[in-house]
């Protein structure tokens, strides 16, 4: 899957997505991530990308033309892609959840637009954006961190990014429940021991215990997920 990120701060997303699992997935070719500096598409002699809002009001808005030209350049670079979507990261959007991540992981091409300042001229949303997505009900200074979060959540579901599909079969939110507790060595830590069943080697009992624990933890920490 290919991800293109339109931003005024490409270094920010490159740094975050260049490390760890997502960085390795880029190196192995399982996914492609490209950041694009919207400022490179400004035709203004001072490379301006923002201006004051018509009608007055505080702050600056990102202008539509450089974003549009950046978008057109991405379409050219990526070529024909059957399943493509353009997403604007915004507190107005539907809040990201695991189902949305799974839906987006079916695409071939995800183009992300990161706003800054007071946001973007609304006409760029009308013209190129398919969907607005939020990472939660709070406001940030830019869409870059939300974009990195979205790429991470989607990319880890793409083939070849994690070792095996089992990696996300039992984790929190995969089946509408939170994950059961996990233990590794040592068998005793500050007087706390590993539950006997996990040392028993009895896989049916272990599965049963884990499911019970997942239900109990979900009821206690996130009862809203059960309704
Ligand atoms: C996204 C973008 C919050 C989110 C943002 C979010 N704040 N909750 N800020 O996903 C336009 C200018 C949006 C700054 C951006």
Q: What angle do CA 67, 111, 48 make, to 5 degrees?
A: 20
Which residue has the least CA distance to atom 5 on ligand 1? 140
Q: Does the structure show a pLDDT above 90 at 169?
A: no
CB 87 within 8 A of CB 114: no
For 180, residues 6+ apart whose C-beta sits below 8 A from its C-beta are 170, 209, 210, 211, 213, 214, 217
| Residues 128 and 84 sit within 8 Å (Cβ to Cβ) | no
Rounded Cα distance between 26 and 2, Å, is 10
The candidate with the shortest Cα–Cα distance to 71, out of 9, 129, 151, 144, is 129
What pLDDT, in 10s, does the model give residues 40-72? 999 999 999 999 999 999 999 999 999 999 999
Which tens digits make up the pLDDT trace of 74-131? Answer: 999 999 999 999 999 999 999 999 999 999 999 999 999 999 999 999 999 999 999 9
Ligand 1 contact via 66 beta carbon (within 6 Å): no
Which residue's structure tokens are 């915004």?
90
Q: Identify which of 60, 87, 115 to mutate to test ligand 1's pocket (most ligand atoms within 8 A of the CB).
A: 115
Pocket lining: 138 vs ligand 1, CB cutoff 6 Å: yes
User: Could you give the CA distance from residue 101 to residue 107 in angstroms, rounded to a whole number?
Assistant: 10
Q: HSE (CB half, 13 Å, CA atoms) of 76?
A: 6
pTM for the model: 0.97
Between the CA of 145 and the centroid of ligand 1 the distance, in Å, is 9
Q: Is 10 in the pocket of ligand 1 (CB under 6 A)?
A: no
Per-residue pLDDT averaged across 201-214, rounded? 98
Ligand 1: atom nearest CA of 117 is 12
- The best mutation among 143, 148, 149, 150 to test binding of ligand 1, ranked by most ligand atoms within 8 Å of the C-beta, falls on 143
Q: Look over the chain and give the mean of its residue pLDDT values, rounded to a whole number.
A: 97
* C-alpha of residue 47 to centroid of ligand 1, in Å: 23
Report whether residue 114 contacts ligand 1, using a CB cutoff of 6 Å. no
Judge if the beta carbon of residue 135 lies within 6 A of ligand 1.
yes
**Closest ligand 1 atom, residue 120 Cα:** 11
pLDDT at 132 over 90: yes
Q: What percent of the chain has pLDDT over 70?
A: 100
Q: Which atom of ligand 1 is nearest to the CA of 134?
A: 10
Q: In which band, very low, low, confident or very high, does the pLDDT at 32 lie, cut at 50, 70 and 90?
A: very high
Residue 50: CB within 6 Å of ligand 1?
no
């Amino acid at each position: 899957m290919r991800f293109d990120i339109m931003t005024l701060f490409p270094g920010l997303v490159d740094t975050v997505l260049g490390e760890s699992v997502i960085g390795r997935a880029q190196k192995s070719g399982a996914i492609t991530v490209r950041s694009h500096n919207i400022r490179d598409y400004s035709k203004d002699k001072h490379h301006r990308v923002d201006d004051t809002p018509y009608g007055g009001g505080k702050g600056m808005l990102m202008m539509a033309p450089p974003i549009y030209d950046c978008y057109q350049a991405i379409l050219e670079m990526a070529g024909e892609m059957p399943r493509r979507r353009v997403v604007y990261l915004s507190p107005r959007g539907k809040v990201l959840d695991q189902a949305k991540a799974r839906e987006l992981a079916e695409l071939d091409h995800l183009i992300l637009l990161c706003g800054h300042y007071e946001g973007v001229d609304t006409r760029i949303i009308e013209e190129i954006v398919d969907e607005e997505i939020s990472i939660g009900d709070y406001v940030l200074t830019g869409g870059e961190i939300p974009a990195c979060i979205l790429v991470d959540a989607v990319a880890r579901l793409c083939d070849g990014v994690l070792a095996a599909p089992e990696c996300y079969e039992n984790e929190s939110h995969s089946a509408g429940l939170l994950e059961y507790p996990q233990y590794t060595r040592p068998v005793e830590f500050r007087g706390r021991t590993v539950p006997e069943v996990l040392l028993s080697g009895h896989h049916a009992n272990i599965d049963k215990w884990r499911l019970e624990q997942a239900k109990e933890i979900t009821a206690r920490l996130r009862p809203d997920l059960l309704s």
